[in-house]
A and B are shown apart, each in its own frame.
Chain A
Amino acid sequence: MEKVLFIDLTERKVWSEEKGELFKKFLGGSGVAINLLHELCPEKEDPFSPENPIIFAVGPLLGVYPSCTKTIAMFKSPLTGNLGESHAGGRFGTALRCAGYGAVVIKGVSAEPVYLDIYDNDKVLFKRAASFLGLPPRRIIDYLKREDVLGLESVIATGLASEKFVAFAGVIVDKHFYFGRLGLGTIFGAKNLKAIRITSDGKIPIKNVDEYKILYDEIYEKIVKTDAMAKYHNLGTPQNVHSLNEIRGLPTRNFLSGYFEEAETISGEYFADNILLRKMPCSHCPIGCKHVALVKEQFAAQHELEVLELPYDYEPIYSLGSNLGVSDTVGVLKLISTCDLYGLDAMITGNLLAWVTEAFMRNLVTEKETLGLKPKWGYYETYIKMIENIVKMPNSFYASLAMGKVPVKEGESFYMTIGGNGVAGYHTGLAQVLGTAIGARHSHVSNAGYSLDQKYLGKELPPEEIVDTLITEEQKRCILESCGVCLFARRVYDLELISKALNPLGWNYSADELREIGKEIYRLKFKFKFREGFQFETLHIPERFFETPSANGLISKKKFFKALNYAAKRIKELAEIPVVEKK
């Protein structure tokens, strides 16, 4: 696993390097990726430059233990102009590991559209992909997947949004999984890279098989037979819809409220009872958190049916459902489907559409800009047309949205992004806003502030305690990400178990040593962010967060900024950046 595969699209050159020391020091995943990003991405480089590398990295537990499935992608984000980090499951990581690659680095730009066909032993074919231009990513995956292939195969693909350089284009993995966030698909587009197929006839070796099998059984029992992951298996992440709505933390109509009165028909329970077709897991995960819906629509008389099979999760249900006032079950799925059709990050797409709707209602945006479209809460057909316009950019208004920017200065106070990234579906309280603000990738899963808010619902924690808890959590998560553990399995894989699990594989680290590695990875992520110009002082925090009650009531702006200032000071110290005290 200590081999890094390098692919230069400009020169069409392929080589590999053994990086044993790097993997020994940083395990894999985000630890290895952040080191490679520091080394390979030139300082202050334009994200669209050929020099901006795409790095995929996997960890030592990935593919070996149940629910260890996540590949980490790192790059400089075209959306935020800073650290780009996106995680995806599916079979991609296991295929990389079977093929013997701990990481893959893609540099340069291809002169023509290509897809990469990757095999074991550094075999990489550059194949023409002109035929794939404009096609939906899922169809490209269908074209590239081969039935009856004996090896482990995984295909990832981009869509039109990537070709058009929409700043938040994603990459679809094996049809049901996503590198959704921060514009990895955009960087694919900038490199003229349409898709990657990896096929491995190889194997992941286990050093001490007997010891491994005993531990495997212990972990498997915990995952399958306890309630540690029951939520993900049963309703999947959409279970959040009702539970958040009950505590008034479900973002509704651009966070104007934390309660959606029509939540029933977009709830996890409703989806599961009425529209769930089946569950889909990543390879080597018995959970199947990905829930796939089946929608049948009659398109002509005599029972002519169009059948849509589509994965759904909580985040797109929030961003394209409650946050747009859409309660039509099929309507939400059609919006998710439209994002998938073009290969867009459904989360920030929803944030943008919610902003447009509110700006339109306030006359900050008119039909002149929207090209005659009249956005209105709940009217999903209009939103479908708007998504098309965001991708195709018929005027400067939509072109601005496609860059993830709102073109009206006075509307920024209700544009729900932090650090340039669209916020997740939790209006739970201060910890969630803070966690997103101080998370290295401005994602809710960086440090799970939403979870802290819910754990201490109705109780006030001191700002410093919130910050310290979030930082410790993020540092710990750096280890999970580096080992390949899915964050949904975090209740099973604590650092003690990870330490034990690494042992039969020949990796000997105590939980304390792992904790220290986590701190170092965290430090390097922020070192990169500061290197690229990140400033806590100029961070965009929408006023809206302080205007509408969260699950924990109105968030005190004073307390928030006190916490943010404390966090900024602590993180700068942790990243070894000189702290200049304000006079």
Chain B
Amino acid sequence: MPIKIRVDHPDRCMGCYNCVFACSRELYGVISKRFSAIQVHDSKTSNTFLIRVCVGCTDPDCANACPYEALKPRPEGGVELVNPDKCKKCEDRPCIPACPVNALPWDPINKKPIICTECGECAKYCPHEVIFYGEVIEATPSPI
């Protein structure tokens, strides 16, 4: 069974950004919200948060949208960047809007999508166990 991250309890989220910074720390060695594969957005109307992170789908829309086959689906779900040079030359970046979860941010400096590596750092530093990291059989909605 594939190891994945999954947002199990979004309603427990406090918006501390611990997961966001754990990701930027792991991927880039920096603290940044912009350079993180997991995004936490405030809801204006209530004190709740919307968490956008790769759901690790097996037929990824982002990879399907890529005209250069720069993004390749991983067998366990999600994608990897196999051809960064082609990616750099791409101006339209169709992979970004293709993701219906909106979980693929663009790295404007290195000119590539910021891809979740399913490393689990975000889950490790979540103080409320909002994010699960482990073996996933199938996607299940979070129980209250």
A-side residues, CB < 8 A to B, are 63-64, 66, 91, 94, 97-98, 142, 145, 147-152, 200-206, 209, 213, 216, 220, 224, 277-288, 292, 309
Residues of B within 8 A of A309 (CB): 46-47
Distance in angstroms between the alpha carbons of A26 and B20 in the assembled complex: 30
Residues of A within 8 A of B43 (CB): 147
Residues of A within 8 A of B21 (CB): 63, 284
Q: Does B74 contact A (CB under 8 A)?
A: no
Complex: chain B residue closest to A205, CB-CB: B30
| Nearest CB in chain A: distance from B49 CB, A | 10
**A-B contact sample (19 more), CB < 8 A, given A150-B105, A205-B30, A283-B16:** A63-B21, A94-B31, A98-B31, A150-B34, A150-B39, A152-B17, A202-B34, A203-B24, A203-B31, A204-B30, A278-B14, A278-B47, A279-B14, A281-B16, A283-B15, A283-B17, A284-B21, A284-B31, A309-B46
| Nearest CB in chain B: distance from A100 CB, A | 11
Q: B29, A206: Cβ atoms under 8 Å?
A: yes
Q: A147, B33: Cβ atoms under 8 Å?
A: no
Q: Which of A149, A152, A224 contacts B32 (CB 8 A)?
A: A152
Q: B29, A209: Cβ atoms under 8 Å?
A: yes
Q: Does B117 contact A (CB under 8 A)?
A: no
Residues of B within 8 A of A91 (CB): 17
Complex: chain B residue closest to A292, CB-CB: B47
Residues of B within 8 A of A278 (CB): 14, 47
Q: Does B84 contact A (CB under 8 A)?
A: no
Distance in angstroms between the alpha carbons of A184 and B24 in the assembled complex: 34
Q: B44, A142: Cβ atoms under 8 Å?
A: yes
B-side residues, CB < 8 A to A, are 14-18, 21, 24-25, 28-35, 39, 41-44, 46-47, 50, 102, 105, 108, 125, 127
Residues of B within 8 A of A150 (CB): 33-34, 39, 105
8 nearest A-B pairs in the assembled complex, by CB-CB distance: A203-B32, A286-B127, A203-B30, A152-B33, A204-B31, A209-B29, A281-B16, A201-B34
Distance in angstroms between the alpha carbons of A281 and B126 in the assembled complex: 12
Distance in angstroms between the alpha carbons of A461 and B43 in the assembled complex: 52
Could you list 16 A-B pairs, sorted by A, with CB under 8 Å?
A91-B17, A142-B44, A150-B34, A150-B105, A152-B17, A201-B108, A204-B32, A205-B29, A206-B25, A213-B25, A277-B47, A280-B47, A284-B21, A286-B16, A287-B127, A288-B16
Q: B127, A224: Cβ atoms under 8 Å?
A: yes
Distance in angstroms between the alpha carbons of A103 and B50 in the assembled complex: 31
Residues of A within 8 A of B30 (CB): 203-206
Distance in angstroms between the alpha carbons of A202 and B44 in the assembled complex: 23
| Nearest CB in chain A: distance from B71 CB, A | 19
Residues of A within 8 A of B35 (CB): 203
Residues of A within 8 A of B41 (CB): 147-149
Distance in angstroms between the alpha carbons of A98 and B105 in the assembled complex: 17
Residues of A within 8 A of B39 (CB): 150
Q: A145, B44: Cβ atoms under 8 Å?
A: yes
Residues of B within 8 A of A200 (CB): 33-34
Distance in angstroms between the alpha carbons of A66 and B124 in the assembled complex: 14
Residues of A within 8 A of B42 (CB): 145, 147
Most chain A beta-carbon neighbours within 10 Å: one of B24, B33, B44, B102: B33
Distance in angstroms between the alpha carbons of A145 and B24 in the assembled complex: 23
Most chain A beta-carbon neighbours within 10 Å: one of B31, B39, B41, B43: B31
Q: Which of A148, A213, A284 contacts B18 (CB 8 A)?
A: A284
Distance in angstroms between the alpha carbons of A216 and B125 in the assembled complex: 11
Residues of B within 8 A of A148 (CB): 41, 102
Q: Which of A97, A152, A209, A279 contacts B25 (CB 8 A)?
A: A209
Q: B44, A288: Cβ atoms under 8 Å?
A: no
Q: B32, A98: Cβ atoms under 8 Å?
A: yes
Residues of A within 8 A of B105 (CB): 150
Residues of A within 8 A of B31 (CB): 63-64, 94, 97-98, 203-204, 206, 284
Residues of B within 8 A of A145 (CB): 42, 44
| Nearest CB in chain B: distance from A216 CB, A | 8
Q: B33, A151: Cβ atoms under 8 Å?
A: yes
Complex: chain A residue closest to B105, CB-CB: A150
